[in-house]
């Protein structure tokens, strides 16, 4: 059967460009520190029926949502994926209660709406939220069908600090997320710098 997803919510995920929205979110609490793009996307998201109570919840639970924005409530869940834990992949937990009481959505809807929230509040974690959505449909075993190299093992054991590594991936997947997550687990915050290949910064290093 088909997934019970709202087409307007799907369109928000696929088509909304934050820079093209041109408006913010009326009623946004002053204590919530969002950039212009986030506020603009939040204004669009809050107009969707399932998210119509979101602004009220933000005002009533500003501190909890600010923790989301600042990344202070991220965690690695060892029960979800052993590899995920070993590489320090973050997963964000959103405050509960923003959903309308009349919304009794399926686990697929809940995971998909978490993906929409991630796009607004923690866009850098969208890949993790997308993986959780896919797992809610096909099961966690879906990602174990293809052997995936353990980057942590490769970096810590099989190579030296001066050994260059080339990560080959497929279009649409940003492997740099895994590198930066691994850097966090190795306490390298501030010591790891991302440079785009071919950029002036890359040539100057």
Q: Model-level pTM greater than 0.75? A: no
Q: What are the tens digits of pLDDT across the range 80-118? A: 444 444 344 567 789 999 987 655 567 888 889 999 999
Q: What are the tens digits of pLDDT across the range 118-130? A: 999 998 888 889 9
DSSP-derived 3-state class of residue 93: coil
- Opening angle at CA 120, ends 13 and 104, nearest 5: 70
DSSP annotation of 86? H
178-183: list long-range contacts, CB under 8 Å, 24+ apart: 178/87, 178/89, 178/151, 179/151, 181/87, 181/88, 181/89, 181/90, 182/87, 182/88, 182/151, 182/152, 182/155
Q: Which residues pair with 74 in a beta bridge?
A: 92
CA distances from 17 to 14, 155, 172 (A): 9, 36, 17
% of the chain with per-residue pLDDT over 90: 22
- Opening angle at CA 63, ends 57 and 65, nearest 5: 55
Query: Residue 78: pLDDT band by 50, 70, 90 thresholds?
Result: very low
pLDDT of residue 55: 93
């Amino acid at each position: 059967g088909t997934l019970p997803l709202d087409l307007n919510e799907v369109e928000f995920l696929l088509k909304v460009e934050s820079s093209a929205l041109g408006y913010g979110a009326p009623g946004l609490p002053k204590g919530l520190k969002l950039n212009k793009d986030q506020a603009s996307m939040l204004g669009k998201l809050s107009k969707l029926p399932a998210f119509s109570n979101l602004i009220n919840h933000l005002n009533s639970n500003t501190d909890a949502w600010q923790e989301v924005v600042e990344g202070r409530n991220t965690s690695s869940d060892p029960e979800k994926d052993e590899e995920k834990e070993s590489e320090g992949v973050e997963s964000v937990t959103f405050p509960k209660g923003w959903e309308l009481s009349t919304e009794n959505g399926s686990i697929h809807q809940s995971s998909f709406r978490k993906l929409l929230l991630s796009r607004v509040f923690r866009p850098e974690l969208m890949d993790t939220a997308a993986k959780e959505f896919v797992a809610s449909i096909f099961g966690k075993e879906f990602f174990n069908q293809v052997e995936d190299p353990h980057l942590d093992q490769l970096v810590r054991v099989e190579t030296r600090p001066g050994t260059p590594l080339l990560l080959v991936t497929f279009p649409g997947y940003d492997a740099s997320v895994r590198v930066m997550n691994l850097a966090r687990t190795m306490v390298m915050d501030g010591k790891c710098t991302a440079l785009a290949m071919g950029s002036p910064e890359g040539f100057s290093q």
